[in-house]
Structure formats: structure tokens, C-alpha cells
Chains A and B, each alone.
Chain A
Amino acid sequence: MRVVVAEDLFLLRDGLVRLLDAHGFEVAAAVEDAPGLLTALISERPDVAIVDVRLPPTFTDDGLRAAIEARAQVPGLPVLVLSQYVEQLYARELLADRAGAVGYLLKDRVFNDDQFVDAVRTVASGGTVMDAEVVTKLLGRRAREETLARLSAREREVLELMAEGRSNSAIAQRLFVTEKAVSKHSTNIFTKLDLVPSDDDNRRVLAVLAYLNG
């Protein structure tokens, strides 16, 4: 799997490249600013890009904007955005094209390399991965709203873990239930959110989007 990495701090860039190497990814390019990222994304067409929000030249949200721009040029280009903080506003902008294949995680999630690598793979295969912190914030707001009020407490828990990009088996492990139970819960979620049957991955993405965008 080919990856483009964009991170301006040498130590972190180096760390990321080594981590990805160790897990069998091929790092096609490791760039340090937004223009470099855009060029690399268009020319390399990687399977997934890992992008820091704050990049030169302006050191504001250049990375995020470059990622959104690249996805406008190459629809559905898988991008996992990393940041020192997560903002619902930025999460919404990343999700706005409804194309999936997008992730938004706190930088320290790389400490748990197994989970981080899972997230990279989920995004690369078209899934949506949102940081638990974004999901928690949304839960406080969304819980009262009508659509989500239809879900049972357990179904909401399952949806929350789905939004974090976890597979059914990971959700089952986390909730101490069988994978079959999780699968039943997800079917209920899809029905209650009026998501017509199609392939399961797509419905997962749509459920998560419905959940995140309200």
C-alpha cells in the first residue's frame, strides 16, 4: 500500500515514516508543506495520504485545505488528517463531499500503532474514521435529535464505535458481545436511519455520515 506523508516537523515526519515502514507500507513521498503535498497527491496518486492540519506556508490549516482541494481534483482520494486538536468544524468540512475515504485523528493516536494502522487501512479502503473526541462531542449534541433518538442506547454505542472506524469484530470485543450481535445492531441502525440495503461498507459510511452531520 502506497502512502504520502505530509508533516512539517522532522522528528514527527521521520517517526511516521518509520512506523509505516515497520507495518509494511510503502512511503511514496514524505513532504513538509502544503504545495508539496498537493503536487505529491496529484502525481503519486497514493492509496492513502496522511496529512498534518498545520503546515507551511501559513502554518494555519494549510494541510486541511490542501487535502480538501486534492479531493476536489481527485474525488474520493483517501486522506487521513492528523492534528494536535480536533474540531467538529473541520470534521464537517472533510465529510462534506460525502465521498467517504476520510479520517480525522488526534496526533497522539499514533502512540497506539496497531489501532492507528487499522485506521489508515480503513480510510484507504473507503471507510470513515473519526477521532473518539469528535464523536464524543457530537454525542452530547446529537443525542436529543430526532433521528438518533430512534436508536436504542446500545445501537448508539455501536454507531459511535463505527464512526471511530472500528470493524464489527473490534466493536464486539469492545462491547463484550458476539460479532453476530453487533451485526444485528448495525442492521437495526441502518433500518432506523432509513438507509436502503446496499453493500455493507457503503451503508456503514452513510450511517456514520448521518450520525456526524445530523
Chain B
Amino acid sequence: MIAATWRSGSTVISEKCFSSLQPVPSNAVASAQPFPSPTASAQPKKPSFVPPAKPVKPVYSKPVCTPAPLFIGGGTAADIGDVVWGQALPYGAVLVDSQHTADAAGVEGLALLALGTWLAPQTFPRVRRMLGGTPDAELTKRVERLTESRAVAVDTASADLRRLERDLHDGAQARLVALGMNLRAAERLIPTSPEAAIALVAEARKTSVMALMELRELVRGVLPPVLADRGLADAIRALALDSPLHVETDIDLPGRLPAPLETACYFAVAELLTNAAKHSGARDARIAISHSGRLLRIEVTDFGLGGADPAKGSGMAGVERRMATFDGILAVSSPVGGPTMVVMEVPCVLSSPKTSSS
């Protein structure tokens, strides 16, 4: 009963601080007696939630943060009404008119002090933290997570740029140099041996086709064309079409995601689908994407062997790390015998509805 009393007390205090008038049923008041007054204890004990015999008008506590003496002192609701609205000098709930009641008022003061001391740290834990108590474990964890995901983001971006530079340098750039050299050689050969010149020009043409092919693959790795053209939904549909698996898609996105997240989600799904095609033994897979509230949810399911261990392959762990940059989380369910379902959730807001015609 005491616990119930204190719980209701703490509720009342916090509500008084943040909301308006609060009706308090009189029987709750009657039960709220950590230190019953002599008059109260003299009465036969009633079960705590039995309504009083006569109808009582509800007592309203005032919307202030000072402790509410009404709930603490003894007496029935009717007494309290008398105390508050009566003629005598009240100390809290106690009517001080003799040495006896003065002592009771002292006891009441002590009780309030004890209650306040006990309640304060519970009601205002943030205040306690601000005053230099124990550090916020949640906050510490969040800082750790941010530090880690930022490091991953920076490393990934830097590694991507290096790879891009190397691919361009060894690929398209080198081919263009060869192309220029071939064309110059052909130019010199035209007057003397036109046939050799023609062969060189044909080779130059082949070189340019190769260079284009490499550039195309490179662009696809940086920003897939359908993603750039139409956003995540159609890009995933295109991905599903290109997959060796038979992939069913169920995508409901009423707008576009922020560009960096769109790209991250695309490559996450691409990687999961590639994983599934390589290792799961599945023929069929399913991708479901939806957005509700402020949460994007992506499910990639393959109907294969199951038993995938995210800790083993670097693929899933890598996806998880990259999604963490966007405060995304990843969960895997892969019972032996399948299916394997990977769920990613990322908080985000969609931009205006898409205008694309199809």
C-alpha cells in the first residue's frame, strides 16, 4: 500500500509540474497515509479502494510544484475539506490548535522531508545527472556509436575515391593514351601504307569501345543510372531484373530518400542480393521496401538453405557498418533450412512525392 501511495504521489507531482488541474479521487487520498493521524488510525481500517459512503466533491490539486499537503496528512476527504476551507490555522493537512496537533504537524513535516528526499532523484534523474551523478550510459553509447560509424564513413569514402582514381588511371585513361598513339601512327602511315593505317584505325575504334565499357562499369559502381534517373524504387526493380535469382519486389515509397541514403540502401540491397545468389542456393528471393512514420524498412529475403552467419562473411557486417552511418540497424534471421531474411531499418524523411511518369 505504501508503494502504491508513493507511486501515485510521484505521478501527481510530475503531472502537476507539466499539466493542468488533476482530479484526485477521495478514496485515493484516504489510502495515502504513510503516517496515519491518531484520528485516522482510530477508525476501522477500510480496504483502500472502496468508495466512500457519501458522495464527495473531487479535490483538485493546484498546478504548482510545491508538495501537496492535501495528500499526505491524515483525515478523511471530508476532514480535508474542512481543513482547507475552515477557520483554524492549518499546517498542511493538520489543524494546529493544541500541543497534540502541533506535534502531529511536526511529524508531518518530517514525513514530507523524507518523501521529498526519496522522490527527488527518481523524479528528476536528468537533474541528478546534470549535477554530476553517474554518467548517462545511453549518451556514452551513442557517442561511441557515432565515433565508430563516422570512422567507417570516412574510411569508405576515402577508399572509394582511391579505387575510382586507380580504375580510371589503369583503365580509361590508359586506353585513351593508346588510342591517341594509334591514331597518330595511322596518320603517318596513310600516305605510304594505307592498309596498315586502316588496321590501326580499326584497332583504335576497338580501344574506344573498351574504354567506354570500362567507364560504364565505373559509373554503375559510383551511381547506377536508374538510381540517378528515378530513385530507389525503380533502381531496385532494375536490380531485381538483373539478378540471376527470380526476385519479387514489393516497394511502396511515396517520395524520394535523401540522395546519400538512397545510394547506401541501393548498394546494401545489391550486396545482400549478390550474397544470396552466391551462397544461399536459392532460386527465389523477395525485396520489400516501405516507409512509415519516419522509418524506412527494407527486407531482403531469399528462399534458400538458411544458416547464414553474419559474423562469418564480411558482406553482411560491411552492410551493417555502412547502414550505421545513417543510424540504421540490421537484423538477420536465418534458420537452418531457410529462409534467410535480412531486415534493415533507417530513420529518414522522404522528399516530395515522385513526379516520374512510370
Contact = CB atoms under 8 A, between A and B. Distances in A.
A93 B230 CA distance: 14
B95 to A, nearest CB: 81
B229 A60 contact: yes
A211 to B, nearest CB: 14
Contacts of A88: 238, 241-242
A111 B208 contact: yes
Nearest to A92: B241
A206 B238 CA distance: 23
Interface in B243-273: 243-244, 246
B13 to A, nearest CB: 58
A61 B246 CA distance: 26
Interface string A75-113: 000000000110111101100000000000001100100
Contacts of A69: 357
A95 to B, nearest CB: 13
Contacts of A68: 357-358
B233 to A, nearest CB: 11
Given A60-B228, A61-B229, A89 B241 contact: yes
Contacts of A108: 208-209, 212
A23 interface: no
B241 A85 contact: no
Interface in B186-212: 205, 208-209, 212
A137 interface: yes
Contacts of A54: 229
Given A85-B220, A88-B238, A108-B209, A141 B230 contact: no
A140 interface: yes
Interface string B216-234: 1001100001101110001
A127 to B, nearest CB: 23
B286 interface: no
Contacts of A89: 226, 234, 237-238, 241
B199 to A, nearest CB: 16
Interface residues of A, number: 20
Contacts of B209: 108, 111
A141 B242 CA distance: 8
A134 to B, nearest CB: 10
Interface string A4-20: 00000000000000000
A45 interface: no
Nearest to B237: A89
Counting chain B CB atoms within 10 Å of each CB, which of A54, A65, A68, A108 scores highest?
Answer: A108
Given A68-B358, A85-B216, A137 B242 contact: yes
Contacts of B238: 87-89
Interface string A37-49: 0000000000000
Given A68-B358, A141-B244, A85 B234 contact: no
Interface residues of B, number: 23
B257 to A, nearest CB: 16
Counting chain A CB atoms within 10 Å of each CB, which of B209, B229, B237, B242 scores highest?
Answer: B229
Interface string B65-76: 000000000000
A198 B49 CA distance: 89
A87 B208 contact: no
A87 B220 CA distance: 11
A92 B226 CA distance: 14
Contacts of A87: 225-226, 238
Contacts of B246: 141
Counting chain B CB atoms within 10 Å of each CB, which of A89, A92, A108, A137 scores highest?
Answer: A89
Nearest to B226: A87
A108 B357 CA distance: 28
Interface string B169-195: 000000000000000000000000000
A55 to B, nearest CB: 11
B230 A60 contact: yes
Contacts of B234: 89
A111 B203 CA distance: 12
Nearest to A144: B283
Given A60-B230, A89-B234, A65 B358 contact: yes
Nearest to A107: B212
A87 B236 CA distance: 12
A65 B242 contact: no
A108 B246 CA distance: 30
14 contacts: A54-B229, A65-B356, A65-B358, A68-B357, A68-B358, A84-B216, A85-B216, A87-B238, A88-B238, A89-B226, A90-B226, A93-B358, A111-B205, A141-B241
Given A60-B228, A69-B357, A108-B212, 16 more contacts: A60-B229, A61-B230, A84-B212, A84-B216, A84-B219, A85-B219, A85-B220, A85-B225, A88-B241, A89-B238, A90-B226, A108-B208, A111-B209, A141-B241, A141-B244, A141-B246
| In the A-B complex, the 9 residue pairs with the closest CB atoms | A60-B229, A89-B238, A88-B241, A61-B229, A85-B225, A108-B212, A87-B238, A108-B209, A65-B357
